[in-house]
Amino acid sequence: MLNLKNIGNMKLSSVCFLVVFTTSAAFSQQKTTIYPKVIVYDKDTVILFSIEQGKKLAELNEDRKECFENNDILKLEIKQKDIIITEEKSKVVNYDKIVVNYNEILKAKKDIQELCNSEKQILTDEISKRNKHKWFAIIGGSITTGFMTYLWIIK
């Protein structure tokens, strides 16, 4: 049995269902729009997203988090690279100092070799001069001894 009260409630619920159904299209997102709908509700601005847009936002948020993590990792790697570069630059500076010192040592060695060669030439010349004097003295002494012996024998 249908009661008049029940019929009134059914009419009210049907009307509410019809109003909600027809106005839901106004508040929901159209599949053709890629932008969220903005409505004002009780003096607050509300942004309505479709399920696809919510999924896309969740994916973008995860990608953003991954980008921030990668950015942090890359910043640490850049710091490590900068530390390595400064260490390598200091090594290069030290090697440059070693090369300069080595070149100075080679120059000093060359100067010492030239000095030794010139002293060797001087000593060689002096030895040959002394040998000439020695042979001159030996030959002169032999001639003098022979001549003196001859004079002594003749006498």
- Residue 45 pLDDT greater than 60, yes or no: yes
71-114 pLDDT, tens digit per residue, is 999 999 999 999 999 999 999 999 999 999 999 999 999 999 99
- Which candidate, 58, 42, 61, places its Cα nearest to that of 50? 58
115, 118, 119, 121 alpha-carbon torsion, rounded to 10°? 160
- Residue 66 pLDDT greater than 70, yes or no: yes
Residue listed under structure tokens 């953003």: 64
- Beta bridge partners of residue 38, listed in sequence order: 47
What is the DSSP annotation of 36-92?
A: PEEEEETTEEEEE--HHHHHHHHHHHHHHHHHHHHHHHHHHHHHHHHHHHHHHHHHH
- What average pLDDT does this structure show over 112-119? 94
Give the pair of three-digit tokens for residue 61: 């948020």
